[in-house]
């Protein structure tokens, strides 16, 4: 069955280029009315211009779609509130939010200024929070909402020289884990995408003939599923180069040492603690508690 967004209204942040632009174009192609948000600044977040967002709007309109532009920063709460207000005045609803805006200020942790750490957290993490908070009451009122936040391999697994970026991207996973619970009763579903594509943020990482395999548009199919009517909630999809996989937090079964546990016990049994053949994904804190109860039910190694 074809995934369509006829009658739906979507906001895509950081949509002036790269992966965000691909999402905006694909949403419009599938019938959505789209707000194209982009500050139009440099990769480190400095400067700004509405030209990039307006160019994507022009592409959508040239193809017969409906779109408006917004050149504000996702870190500016008043600006985000105004974007949402304009969207409601224009179309009367907001069904989809794709939090994609981001910046980079890479340095090793020893050389990184705290200001650069804060700036990256503000855009990726707080920008997503501010935008989500702005649309949340609208989605609750209409009993429908689909939200995507954007993590990365750095947030999930780490990458040298990106402690600020990794912290921000990992924080989004934690944000999703709780928001999925709070949004469930109002039919608000929130998921996470971990994209890998050739954009200005990954320039230099993929070169030569392989570069053609990593077009930003190859991430969007996974995102279209995550914001569709039949979307799941609370999952991470990793997508790029035509591949899609699921990532998840898992935990090993563990060892019950008993009340006499010592640090030496942990060291002596670390291989058993670290046995990932027993690992399984956990959907929430309740499942983690249930897993712990299973481990506690086993006979302790010590009294």
Q: pLDDT averaged over consecutive 10-residue blocks of the chain (303 residues)?
A: 97 96 98 96 63 96 98 97 98 98 93 96 98 98 98 92 96 97 98 83 58 84 98 97 94 94 96 94 89 88 77
Q: Pairing between strand 243-247 and 236-240?
A: antiparallel
List the CATH number of the domain containing 223. Answer: 3.40.50.720
- The C-alpha atoms of residue 155 and residue 176 are separated, in whole angstroms, by 13
Choose, from 165, 173, 214, 225, the residue flagged as catalytic. Answer: 165
Same domain? 157 vs 211 = yes
Name residue 127's beta-bridge partners: none
Token pair of 259 as six digits: 């009340």
pLDDT at 45: 57
- The C-alpha atoms of residue 253 and residue 277 are separated, in whole angstroms, by 9
With residues binned 3-state (H G I as helix, E B as strand, rest as coil), the percentages for the chain, rounded to 5, are: 45, 15, 40
Same domain? 148 vs 22 = yes
pLDDT at 242: 92
- Measured CA to CA in angstroms, residue 44 lies from 78, 119, 200, 217 at distances of 22, 9, 11, 23
Residue 45's nearest CA partner among 25, 24, 69, 75 is 75
1 falls within a domain: no
Strand order in the sheet with 236-240: 67-70, 33-37, 9-12, 96-99, 145-150, 188-195, 236-240, 243-247
Same domain? 90 vs 217 = yes
DSSP state of 37: E
H-helix segments, the chain: 18-29, 51-62, 77-91, 114-121, 127-142, 153-157, 163-184, 220-226, 263-268, 270-273, 285-297
pLDDT at 40: 82
Range of the domain at 268: 250-297
Same domain? 185 vs 150 = yes
Same domain? 77 vs 61 = yes
Residue 104's nearest CA partner among 199, 223, 173 is 199
Same domain? 99 vs 232 = yes
What is the sign, positive or negative, of the torsion defined by CA atoms of 201, 75, 145, 280?
positive
Catalytic annotation present for 165: yes
Same domain? 92 vs 223 = yes
Token pair of 204 as six digits: 């230099």
- The C-alpha atoms of residue 105 and residue 89 are separated, in whole angstroms, by 36
């Amino acid at each position: 069955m074809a995934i369509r967004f006829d009658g739906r209204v979507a906001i895509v942040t950081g949509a002036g280029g790269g992966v965000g632009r691909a999402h905006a174009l694909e949403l419009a192609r599938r019938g959505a009315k789209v707000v194209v948000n982009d500050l139009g600044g440099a990769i480190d977040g400095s400067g700004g211009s509405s030209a990039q967002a307006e160019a994507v709007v022009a592409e959508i309109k040239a193809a017969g779609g409906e779109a408006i532009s917004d050149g504000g920063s996702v870190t500016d709460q008043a600006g985000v509130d105004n974007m949402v207000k304009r969207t409601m005045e224009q179309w009367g609803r907001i069904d989809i939010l794709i939090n994609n805006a981001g910046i980079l200020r890479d340095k090793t942790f020893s050389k990184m200024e705290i200001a650069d750490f804060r700036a990256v957290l503000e855009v990726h993490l707080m920008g997503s929070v501010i935008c989500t908070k702005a649309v949340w009451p609208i989605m609750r009122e209409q009993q429908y909402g689909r939200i995507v936040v954007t993590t990365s391999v750095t947030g999930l697994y780490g990458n040298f020289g990106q402690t600020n970026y990794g912290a921000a991207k990992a924080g989004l996973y934690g944000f999703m884990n709780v928001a999925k619970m709070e949004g469930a009763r109002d039919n608000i579903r929130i998921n996470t995408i971990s994209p890998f594509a050739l954009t200005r943020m990954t320039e230099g990482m993929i070169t030569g003939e392989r570069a053609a395999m990593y077009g930003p548009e190859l991430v969007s199919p996974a995102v279209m599923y995550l914001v569709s009517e039949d979307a799941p909630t609370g999952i991470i999809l990793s997508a790029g180069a035509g591949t899609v996989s699921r990532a998840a937090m898992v935990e090993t079964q563990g060892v019950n040492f008993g009340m006499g546990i010592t640090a030496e016990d942990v060291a002596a049994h670390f291989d058993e603690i670290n046995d990932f053949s027993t690992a399984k994904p956990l959907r929430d804190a309740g499942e983690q508690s249930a897993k712990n109860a299973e481990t506690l039910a086993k006979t302790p190694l010590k009294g």
